[in-house]
Amino acid sequence: MKVAIVGCGMLGYDLVRTFLDKKDVELFCYDNKITGDILGKKIYNLDITNANQTYETLTKLNPDTIILTSSITDVDFCEENSDLAYRVNTIGVKNVAIAAQKFDSLLVYLSTDYVFDGKKGKEYTEFDLCCPLNVYGETKLQGENFVRQILNRYLIIRTSWMFGKNRKNYISYWYTCVSKGQKPIIVDGQVGSPTYSKDLAQNICYLIKENKIGLYNVTNLEGTDRLTVFKEMCKIIGVEFNIKNICLKPANDVFKKAVRPMDTRLDNFIWKLEDLPKIRSWKDAIRDYIFYDLK
Ligand X SMILES: NC(=O)c1ccc[n+]([C@@H]2O[C@H](COP(=O)([O-])OP(=O)(O)OC[C@H]3O[C@@H](n4cnc5c(N)ncnc54)[C@H](OP(=O)(O)O)[C@@H]3O)[C@@H](O)[C@H]2O)c1
CB 208 within 8 A of CB 184: no
Residue least distant from ligand X (Cβ): 9
How many residues of this chain interact with ligand X, rule: CB under 6 A?
29
Q: How far is the CB of 244 from ligand X (least distance, A)?
A: 29
Distance in angstroms (rounded) separating the CA atoms of residues 287 and 48: 35
| Smallest separation, CB 48 to ligand X (Å) | 4
Could you say which residues in the range 45-74 bind ligand X, by CB under 6 A?
46-49, 69-73
247-250 CB contacts, 8 Å cutoff, 24+ apart: 247/183, 247/184, 247/185, 247/186, 248/186, 248/188, 249/185, 249/186, 249/187, 249/188, 250/187, 250/188, 250/189
Rounded Cα–Cα distance for residues 104 and 138 (Å):
27
If binding is defined by CB under 6 A, does position 34 make contact with ligand X? Answer: yes
Span near ligand X by CB under 6 A; candidates 18-26, 31-39, 100-108, 206-214 = 31-39
Note whether 154 binds ligand X by CB under 6 A: no
Report the length, in residues, of the chain.
295
175, amino acid identity: Y
Q: Pick the piece of the chain touching ligand X (CB under 6 A) from 30-38, 123-131, 212-220, 266-274.
A: 30-38
Least Å from the CB of residue 162 to ligand X: 3
Binding positions for ligand X, 100-139, rule CB under 6 A: 110, 112
Q: Which of residues 1-20 bind ligand X (CB under 6 A)?
A: 7-12
Given 92, 118, 194, 223, the residue binding ligand X (CB under 6 A):
92
Q: Any idea what the Cα angle at residue 48 is, between residues 209 and 165, rounded to 5°?
A: 60
Q: What's the rounded Cα separation, in Å, for the pair 80 and 265?
A: 26
Q: Tell me the window of 153-161, 211-219, 245-253, 285-293 that interacts with ligand X (CB under 6 A).
A: 153-161
- The binding site for ligand X (CB under 6 A) comprises 7-12, 31-34, 46-49, 69-73, 88, 92, 110, 112, 140, 159-162, 167
